[in-house]
Each structure stands twice: as C-alpha cells, then as structure tokens.
Amino acid sequence: MTSIHIIVFLPLLAALVAGLGQRFIGAVASKTITTAGLFTASLLSWPIFIGFLNGSETAYVAPVMNWVQSGDLSFDWELRVDALTAVMLVVITTVSALVHLYSWGYMEEDPDQPRFFAYLSLFTFAMLMLVTANNLVQMFFGWEGVGLASYLLIGFWYKKPSANAAAIKAFVVNRVGDLGFMLGIFGVFWLFGTVSIPEILAAAPDKVGSSVGFLGLRVDTMSLLCILLFIGAMGKSAQLGLHTWLPDAMEGPTPVSALIHAATMVTAGVFMVCRLSPLFETSQFALNVVTIVGATTAIFAATVGLVQTDIKRVIAYSTCSQLGYMFFAAGSGAYGAAMFHLFTHAFFKALLFLGAGSVIHAMHHEQDMRYYGGLRKHIPLTFWAMMAGTLAITGVGIVGVGGLAGFYSKDAIIEAAFASNSTYHMYAFAIGVVAALLTSFYSWRLMFLTFFGTPRWAQSEHIQHAMHDHADHDEPAHESDGHDHAAHTHDAHGEGTGGYHPHESPLSMLIPLGVLTLGAVFAGFAFHGGFIEAETGKAFWANSTLFFNEHLMHAMHEVPLWVKLSSTVAMLTGLIVAYLMYQQSKDAPQRLASAFAPLYRFFLNKWYFDELYNAVFIRPAFWFGRLFWKQGDIGIIDRFGPNGSAAVVSFGSKLAVKLQSGYLYTYALVMLLGLVSAVSWMMVRT
C-alpha cells in the first residue's frame, strides 16, 4: 500500500467507523477518528505536491483493482497521481482537515456530531476519488459521490424545512448538469472506444474536423462533446443557469459551506475542464462558450452579492463569482492561471467562510450583517482573520513588488484574458475588471457592517432571545439590585448592544483560522512560479494532462502597465466607495437603493432566475404531475385497474350471496336453466 492509497481510503474508513459505530464509540471517538484521518491524509499530500514543484516527483498510476470488463468497455480502478492531482490533494485534504477541527467547536452542542463528521469524511473521500480518476467512469463515480454527500450535508438539519428544500434543490439542479456530463462520457466512448483519460487526450487531435448528427443537425463532434462535458461542470461549479442551488446551500452548517463552496465540490468542474484541457483545445467554439459563461457568471454573482445582507450569502455569491474567473481563464487558454486561482481561493475563501462562522457563533447565530457593527474590539482574532481574507480576495498588493494570494492569481487571470488571442478575450478582461471592483466593494461592505461603526445588536431577535434567556436565568440571583440592573440595561441599549457581550471562538475554531490566514497571505507569493511562470510552470505542468500555453504566459507578463494596474485601481475604487457609503454616511445606501429601485430589486431578486425557473419548469412540472396523478393514476389506472377489479369482485360476491338462498328448489331451477342453455348451444352448433 502506497501513500496515495492511504490518502484516498483513510477518509472512507474513518467515515464508516464514525457513521456505523457511533453508538458504540461515542461522539468524541467519532470526531477524533475522522479528524485524525484527515490530518494524516493532509500530511501525506503535501510532500507529493512539493515533490512535483521541485521536480523530484513524476506522474504515475497506482492500481487498486480490476473493475469492469464488458465487451469493448474495459477499465480498472486506478489512482492517477500527477501535478494536477497533487494540487487538488493538498487543497481537499488541508481544507477538510481544518474544517473537521473547526467543527469540534462549532458543532459542540449538536447531538448528531458523529453523523456530521462521518458525512464530512465521506464527502472528502468522494472528492479524492474524483481527482485521482484515470478514466471517465471513475471520475463520474466520484462526481456522483460528491453530489450525494453534499445532499446529506446541506440537509444535515433535516428537521428545518428550508434545509430540506435547499438539499433537494442542490440535488435536482446538479442532476441536470450530471445528465450533460453523462451524455458527454457516452459520446466520448462512442468516438474514441475507450474511457481512459490518457488515451482519449492522446487521440483527440486526430478527431478534429469530424461531424455528427445531433437533434436533426450536423455539428462538430469535438464541440458537441466538450459542450456536454462543460454542462456537467456548470452544475457542479454553479455557473450561470445552473447556479441557483449554491446560495440556498448556506442552510447547512457553516463548516459545510467552507468545505463544499470554498475548495472542493464547486471546484470539481474547473478541475474537470483542466484535466481534459487538451480535449477542449480541439474546439474553439467550446472554449468561447466556457469564456462567455464564466465571465457572465462572474458579473452576475458580483452584482447580486452587492445587495445581500446575510453574511454567508455574500461569501457564497463571491464564490460563484470567483468560479467565473476560473472558467473564463480556462476559456482564454490560461489553464495554469485557473488552477492557481483555485488553489489560492481555497485558502482565503475557506478563511472567509470559517471567519463568518466565528462571527455567527459570537452573535448567537445571527447572520444578518445589519445587526452587527463594532465587533472588532470584542472578537479581535476573528476580525484579523477576516481582514486577511478580505485583503486576499480583493487582490491587495503592489505591482512589481508583491501582495496577498488574490493579487497573484486573480490579477494573472485578468492579464491572461487581455493577452489571449481567443475570440471573446476582451469581454472576459472587461468583465474581470468590473467584477474586481464589485468584489472589493461588497467585501469591504461586509467588513464595515460587521466590525466597524456602532453596535446594532439590540435590533436582532437572536440577541434579544439570548438576553431574555440570560435574564430569566439570572433574575432570582439579582432580585435585590433591580434598579442597578435596569440602569445598566438602559445604558446598554443606548449603545446598541442590548446588554449582549460577544465572545471569541474556542481554540479549535481559531487554529484553522490562523492556518488559513497564513495561506491567504503567503500562498500566492510562495507558489505562483510553479503555476503561472512560463519556464517553471511548463516544467511543473509537464507532469500532468493540463495544457500549458507557455506563449500565453509570456504574453501575460508583457501586457501594458495600465492593464496590470487595472485590478488594483478597481480594488481601491471599491474600497473607497464602500468606506464613503458605510462609514462616512448613514443613509447613502438607502438613498442609492431608492434612486435606483428597479435595478436594486433586479439584483435583490437574483436577476429573477428563481422566478423564471418557477414559471417555466416548476409550475408546469407540478401541473403535469397533478394531471397524471388525478386523471391518469386515480381516474384511469386505479379506476379500471385495482379499484375496477375490486368493484367487479364485490358485485359478483353480492350477486352470489343473493343466489345462494339455501332452498333446494332454487338450486334445481339454476341447474335446469344451465342444462337448457347447454342443450340449446349444442343444437345451434349442429
């Protein structure tokens, strides 16, 4: 057994032990086993990644077992380890390990902790299966496993109707994308006669120019297959059209948000496109679609994020926007930059989600930023962690000197889009700059509303309930000093605190924040060479299937100075506008919302996608369902099937009861009539 076998299967073993044996080993043992398993997997993953970075590792395939042999379809269960896999290994295992540790504090009061930790480890195993796949069927296996585990995690608090609805929504929307992915796999097998990824990529150039009939049209074969595969990526990575599940997935516990939406499930689509990048390079049309969808998603999510008040939803839409960056980078040919942003994004986005969880924990489960304010003095460690994440995602840095993680990865994408010779590269560049401005604005808006200004805690129902419960608990012990207590409460309300005292998170939650802060600050500086520099990047990605455009990387560094400064100017503009609106003026946001009421409602209603889908898909589906149920099932099938048969039997039974009177002459009459009928029938026949 090699290290890669331990990395992949240890989370599965931990999940089985914690999930199936929770009644025997208890919550503490379940948490310990799963957390230890993930930290072990993480510690084994980093040497593999570093080995590919310094050139001491080469790509290899580790066999597991013979899997399928059916006619022309043949493949084994194998674990592919290359540079692309190594990047995903450290991202998945590191973030998952930290999320496991964080959950010790965040889920401390939940009675179903063993089940939660088992789901986390199961999710991690499925994701590891996906990224180590050496064939498309194994990738699909991991793909669906991730979908199953995400459904369980999003709906973890299944007694909440909103959590159940969010889980179902995520499941259904992802099934739409998965159908496209499945059809793409079928098409690839039909064209290439294999599902082996290396064999497919090697044979792809020979299939350029072929065509196939599809829906009555003659279309380019490679374009069709790439578009079908990309539809799968759109579902998993929440791209425009199949994005609607992601914000609602915030109904799950906050650690779930960090795991699913920061580093794992939502990046699966980006990983798949980069894994199959030589296939996508055979179709410029498919790359154009990827570019347009990615860039449009980036601006869509950024505009919606402007008006959100739930702290987790702001970060969720930020995730959706950053995924758009990754896709239009891939569509522009900068696959290395896309993976680099995936890598850095894992650190600062997980940091922001877990930081938001720490704020929610401190504020008695209140998630509305309108009821925060002035928290930086009460939870200073959380504040500085969130500050590091904000500086990283907004791309703070100095051109020619250095900066935080986002400064290297996001700026690289914007510059690569400008330098690219793809059809829609300027559209992607312009959208990237505008989205960077909006990202800066809503990120700093979050910081100002949460940590600065005067407290607005007394307006929160959660805080009011907390203080009411506290007062009820303490009242008998303070009956003698009612006057002083009343005065204190009055002063507290005057300060907007409601008498509430936020508390810093426990150590189990702060340690992951500290580790992720280091990643948000230093990951870009430490690893940009291997991902996006022309020479070192070529050597690093040579040990993978990723298509690395060395020429584009050279051109990216040679863009005009104003292009390099564009994202910095956008970042500063967003910061200044947010400061003026939320620190210098108390009513500017309200006045702006009133002045642009139609646009505000458009953003607030998420471009009316939910309403559109409800009118086009959901209502007709329910109408057809009711029609087939009431008219088809009940009116026809039940009426003439089981119910009809039962009615006939019932009528026959009643008739038989009437005929069976018990009198001899009645039976004699029936026999006589039968005899007459039989004789008459024989006479007629002869």
Exposed, middle or buried: residue 540 (CB in 10 Å: 0-12, 13-18, 19+)?
Answer: buried
- Residues 214-248 have pLDDT tens digits of 888 888 899 999 999 999 999 888 888 888 888 88
Distance CA 446, CA 10 (A): 38
Q: Which helix (H) or strand (E) holds 403?
A: strand 402-403
pLDDT for the residue 429: 95
Residue with tokens 């458009």, as numbered in its chain: 602
Token pair, residue 83, equals: 């540079």
pLDDT for the residue 653: 75
DSSP reduced 3-state for 421? coil
Distance CA 300, CA 193 (A): 39
Distance CA 686, CA 403 (A): 108
pLDDT for the residue 685: 74
Measured over the CA atoms of residue 95, residue 96, residue 97 and residue 103, the dihedral's sign is positive
Distance CA 564, CA 561 (A): 5
Averaged pLDDT of the chain: 87
Residue with tokens 């459904």, as numbered in its chain: 151
**pLDDT under 70 in the chain at which residues?**
262-263, 466-494, 629-630, 632, 634, 638-641, 643, 655, 657-667, 686
Complete DSSP assignment for 17-48? HHHHSHHHHHHHHHHHHHHHHHHHHHHHHHHH
Distance CA 64, CA 1 (A): 9
Residue with tokens 């973030």, as numbered in its chain: 95
User: Any bridge partners for residue 79, and if so which?
Assistant: 62, 133
Token pair, residue 639, equals: 């009426």
pLDDT for the residue 686: 64
pLDDT for the residue 489: 44
Q: How many other C-beta atoms lie within 10 A of the C-beta of residue 616?
A: 10
Distance CA 52, CA 84 (A): 9
Rounded to 5 degrees, φ, ψ at 481 are: -120, 45
pTM for the whole structure: 0.87
